[in-house]
Amino acid sequence: MRGFLLIVLLLVVCRGYAQNDTLKIQEVEIQGNRIPAFFNEKQRVVMIISREEIALMPVTSLDELLEYVSNVDVRSRGAMGVQSDIGIRGGNCEQLAVLLNGVKINDPQTGHHNLNIPLDLTCINRIEVLQGPGTRLYGPGAFSGAINIITSPPVDKGMKVQAESGDYNFINTNVGLYYKWKFFSNLLSVSHKSSSGYRENTDFRTSNAFWFGQQVSKYGVMTSQVGYNDKSFGANSFYTSKYPNQFERTRAFIASIRYEMNNKLHLRPQIYYRRHQDRFELFRDNFEAPAWYLSHNYHLSHVSGVELSSWFSWAAGKTSFGAEYRTEYIISNVLGEPLDNPEPVPFEAGAVFTNADHRDVVSAFADHQFQYRKLNASFGGLVYHSQLSGTRFFPGADLSLELSNSFNLFASYSQSLRLPSFTELYYKSTQHIPNSSLLPEEAMNAETGLKYNSKGINGGISLYYRKGINIIDWVRINTADKWQAANITEVESMGTEFFAKIYLPVFVPKSPVTLLHLRMVYNFLQKTSGDYYSLYALDYLGQKYTLTVQHKLYKNFSASWTLMYQQRMGTYTEFSSNDEKPYPDVVTLDGRISWNYKIFQVYADASNILNNSYMDIGNIPMPGRWFRMGVVVSPVFK
């Protein structure tokens, strides 16, 4: 602990040259897929990661970036965005809604694929993280939270070129083109990164292509996006340590188009589509595969939907309403009900699909916001229908009271729902037993807190409580048993979050330290059903403390450091001994030193500088110290 405190002290007292800019915290408009609202009027905890913050972070992938957000739990199986499960407030990857420019892109096969997003960090304008349930806004996927990734249209003509290299033969390159002509704005980005891996069978190759366009007219705004992600990686012990030579390839395609009419009655129709194909090899290239291993696993999912949102302002406030139809389909040789006639797997010679399933989802929402003096309130609900859940109603209400120009007290109550994934319903292997009779998860949620926002300081503290019923998890009674998908009778979650972001030059104009960002989290879960081992639901993040320090070094040189402590609850079955072991506590330090001059940025990154051994998921060690260097060139064309 003394060493931990010493590192914190050294980071804070780093000497450097003064930063004379005066920083003011601005209102941030939340760009959800319903009606927009401003951050200081929002009655919930929404963390914003800006483009400027992303540029200073020693990260190369979205999961690494989200690691720094308070109460976001990132459980990685590989490095640099290969595969990570994201959870919020003690939830798992199945209980989180992921959106790209307000379009839901969750994978119905499994939450392991939710971050297969065809986008490089340099394209992102900001990321909005809703801490807490959002079923009323985003549907059943937002059981414990939501993440919305925003790529704004360019305001200039230009390009951005990045080249990066590092340990383990790591290479990262991307090119982004920005073009604006009259009422048309376009962003085109292509990227590729690869590595030979930090241990045996952890090599990877990831390629992305993404286009985002916007057309503005006097009648409204049309927004379109198309993206493709192709990822191949060695999956050493990803799903079982018994067979470490696993391999996986995924290919994701997304497309959407939205039109927003700027009348007194705002109308926003939207259609979207997502295709995801997955090949999982328990024995990579069938090397030393036993006789019982007959085929790799092949999965192809299609998700499509149409949505209409509308809102208008009147004397009593702002009213919104809308509806959505969404269909989720999967065809596989493992998941689903048997097909009458097998179908060939695209791009996989000789492979066939033998199973399939689908579900249709219809929902409608209504919400009303109003302000009375210093009180802001919103209330509404979502009516939801699917084959699994039937027709259900999920109400919610949010309140905030402005105590002063800086302090805001808030409280909220809501109900949330989550449908089981196709993997939970159907996946059968040597280690897993499916359960096609799973019930949807349900929860009642409440939270309250205090936010502070003024010139130079942004902070808050919140308390939350969630009572979950029929929570889905893979469980077993003994370590020799197979994992079986089941509904846990009841799980109660509670916790507290604190964050403070301080821009020191506002108070000390000659301070070499430009930013201090402290985040503290405590979570507690309690189950009220029998004794068993849990694979996901009870291996939650108990405590998390994060300190980020940004400071000037010399002239155009600056640095950013993030120190993090994590305590994970629960246990895992150690493969070598077959004993249940507690997760060890984790302390990591990451840093970036950068030089910026006009259109150039040169940087050096180091992850896990302390070279500590740790793991997010049992039996999968994460990388030790990893150095990288890169350059970004951002010319602007006249």
Render pLDDT for 326-337 as a digit per residue (tens, 0 to 9).
999 999 999 999
223 neighbors 253 (Cβ within 8 angstroms)? no
Mean pLDDT of the 207-233 span: 96
350: exposed, middle or buried (Cβ count in 10 Å: 0-12, 13-18, 19+): exposed
In percent, the amount of the chain with pLDDT more than 70 equals 93
pLDDT of amino acid 28: 42
Sorted by where each starts, the structural domains of the chain and their CATH numbers stand as 2-637 (2.40.170.20)
pLDDT-derived band of residue 218, with 50, 70 and 90 as boundaries? confident
pLDDT at position 607: 98
* pLDDT, tens only, 24-77: 333 344 455 454 443 334 678 889 999 999 999 999 999 999 999 989 999 999
Share of the chain above pLDDT 90, in %: 81
CA–CA separation, 358 and 304 (whole Å): 12
Token match 């604190």: residue?
498
- Predicted TM-score (pTM) of the model is 0.92
pLDDT of residue 479: 78
Asked if residue 556 has pLDDT above 80, the reply is: yes
pLDDT greater than 60 at residue 13? no
- Average predicted confidence (pLDDT) for the chain: 90
In the three-class reduction of DSSP (H, G, I as helix; E, B as strand; rest coil), residue 3 is classed as helix
- Average confidence (pLDDT) over 286-297: 95
Mean pLDDT along residues 91-120: 96
Angle (CA) 97 100 103, round 5°: 75
Query: What pLDDT does 3 receive?
Result: 42
Whole-number Å distance between alpha carbons of 305 and 596: 44
Distance CA 604, CA 585 (A): 27
What is residue 528's predicted lDDT score, i.e. its pLDDT? 67
Q: How many CB atoms lie within 10 A of CB 523?
A: 22
| Residue whose pair of structure tokens reads 């079986």 in the numeric block | 484
Confidence of residue 605 (pLDDT cuts 50, 70, 90): very high
Q: Which amino acid is present at 314?
A: W
CA distance readout (Å), 631 to 162, 167, 177, 559, 608: 6, 16, 17, 15, 21
Those residues whose C-beta lies under 8 Å from the C-beta of residue 172, and which sit 6 or more positions away, are 60, 80, 162, 163, 164, 165, 191, 192, 193, 628, 630
What stretches of 133-219 adopt beta strand conformation (E)?
145-150, 157-166, 170-181, 184-195, 204-216
pLDDT > 90? residue 525: no
Q: Taken in order 622, 51, 32, 316, is the CA torsion positive or negative?
A: positive
Q: What is the pLDDT of residue 43?
A: 77
For residue 353, what are its two tokens?
């699909």
Residues 336 and 426 sit within 8 Å (Cβ to Cβ): yes
CA dihedral 331, 337, 338, 342 (to 10 degrees): -10
* pLDDT at residue 628 greater than cutoff 90: yes
CB 427 within 8 A of CB 382: no
**DSSP notation for 113-145:** GTT--S--GGG-SEEEEEES--HHHH-TT-SSE
Q: What is residue 580's three-state secondary structure?
A: strand
pLDDT above 90: residue 587: yes
pLDDT at 243: 94
Alpha helices in 467-625 (DSSP H): none
C-alpha torsion sign, points 5, 9, 12, 17: negative
DSSP state of 215: E
Q: Is the pLDDT assigned to residue 2 strictly greater than 50?
A: no
Q: What residues have CB less than 8 Å from 382, skipping those under 6 apart?
A: 135, 136, 139, 363, 364, 365, 393, 394
Decide: helix, strand or coil at residue 19: coil
In a 3-state reduction of DSSP, which class is residue 48? Answer: strand
Q: How many CA atoms lie within 13 A of 276 on its CB side?
A: 24
What's the CA gap between 269 and 256, in Å, rounded? 11
Q: Which helix (H) or strand (E) holds 281?
A: strand 266-281
Mean pLDDT, rounded, for 80-89: 96
Lowest mean pLDDT among 17-26, 143-152, 252-261, 399-408: 17-26
Beta bridge partners, 485, equal 474
C-beta separation of 376 from 43 below 8 A: yes
Q: What is the CA radius of gyration of the chain?
A: 24
13-22, 98-107, 366-375, 578-587: least confidently modelled range: 13-22
Q: What is the pLDDT of residue 25?
A: 34
Q: What is the DSSP letter of 538?
A: T
- The pair of structure tokens assigned to 320 is 């919104």
pLDDT of residue 431: 84
Question: Which tokens in the block code for residue 243?
Answer: 């067979």
* Dist. CA 267–CA 310, nearest whole Å: 5
The number of CA neighbours under 13 Å toward the Cβ of 323 is 3
**pLDDT class of 585 with cuts at 50, 70, 90:** very high
Report residue 530's pLDDT band, with 50, 70 and 90 as the boundaries.
Answer: low
**Minimum mean pLDDT range among 575-584, 588-597, 602-611:** 575-584
Structural tokens at position 424: 């939970």
Question: What is the amino acid identity at position 195?
Answer: S
- Give the mean pLDDT of 232-245: 96
Reading the block at residue 412, the tokens are 């909220």
- In degrees, rounded to 5, the angle at the alpha carbon of residue 299 between the alpha carbons of residues 295 and 303 is 175
